[in-house]
Chain A
């Protein structure tokens, strides 16, 4: 409800409070309040109801003739100074509530798929690593070359599917390119709505991130346990399986965290992007963990394959994975700490 009141305050705030204007504000407030309660009665959540009501608000331009604010809303051409300034400060069209909601919806529905794709990139080498050491150590009776071939085939199939999913999601977000590149002017109503959205999703996101970081830190346990506790002949064959399990744990963490991140990311896109440069800045900061994992893990895969094939050292190259995992856990918890510091500092400043 407060959001609706605040929205109207922002919309009408720019104009002198004449009797007609106050009357319009009061009546529109009643209409919006009625509509809000109507949507709640229909079973919508508070946030959805507020979103719908704000979407259906319309445009103050329409009221201009009745309220006598035409001059303020559209300055007449007889003011040469204003006319001369206009083209110089030509700003991109403001983001509309409807557009923002469609974008948020696309992100919300698309995020689990992106998370799955990233997780698939991470686990893609698991069969290869497991098979290479199992066959190399003689734990299963299979020619090591065949084992590597099967593992590689799995890797390629998983990566291909993950790439297809990523491309598909890119197409899903194609209509919103103006939002993602920051080529829009912010609107107070959408700002409020987006912040509200992020605030509502924030506790779940924090919990998810903490669980994920916990998993990432614990991910090396199978590898450590195997190399410290098992006899060396067992370790030689089974270390690959331990590494595969580690990758599975890392991927699970990504599956938990990434889908919970959409609202925060949407709010950042909608509220921080103003003009293209700022937009790129916001883009750079958005979901650093997500961005890093999208580049980091494929790079590790490349490094692993290069070492294994060029070096021909399948028995030892798995070591790259625990190192990568520890590094990843360290990076993501470090970023999380920075983010929390920034948030608390931001709250303190307000």
Chain B
């Protein structure tokens, strides 16, 4: 289990990388996240919603009204060019972070 605090800073990255593939709505995002993380992390609905709204507020994603395959109305989110650029930055930052932290934990048994 990963604590919500540990992963909080990376929810934006997860959402942006999923939206890079195709536009999506909140529940579908939650399901896609779940299918990747499995039992190790379940995203709370409020966490996901606040991440999407934060990204929208920063102009990294835009929303539009659409309908799901079953025809129900959904708010869809699409990544913007700024979002793509931001994602690249964030991915680079994560690689650096990971490599720095890895250097510290080398040899630590877990």
A binding-site residues for B, Cβ under 8 Å: 24, 27-28, 30-32, 34-35, 38, 56-60, 62-63, 65-66
Contact = CB atoms under 8 A, between A and B. Distances in A.
Contacts of B44: 56-59, 62
A68 to B, nearest CB: 11
A343 B58 CA distance: 54
Contact of B27 (A34, A57, A60): A34
B61 to A, nearest CB: 13
Interface string B1-41: 00000000000000000000000001100110000000000
The 3 closest A-B pairs by CB, nearest first: A58-B44, A58-B46, A34-B27
B46 to A, nearest CB: 3
Contacts of B31: 38
A28 B48 CA distance: 10
Contact of A27 (B42, B47, B75): B75
Interface of B: 26-27, 30-31, 42-50, 53-54, 57, 72-75
Nearest to B27: A34
Contacts of A38: 27, 31
B53 A66 contact: yes
Contact of B50 (A35, A56, A57, A63): A63
A34 B72 CA distance: 10
B74 A24 contact: no
Contact of B46 (A28, A34, A35): A28
A53 to B, nearest CB: 8
18 contacts: A27-B75, A28-B45, A30-B72, A30-B74, A30-B75, A31-B26, A32-B45, A34-B27, A38-B27, A56-B43, A56-B44, A56-B45, A57-B45, A58-B45, A58-B46, A62-B47, A63-B53, A65-B54
A30 B26 contact: yes
Given A30-B75, A31-B27, A62-B50, 5 more contacts: A28-B45, A35-B45, A58-B44, A59-B44, A59-B46
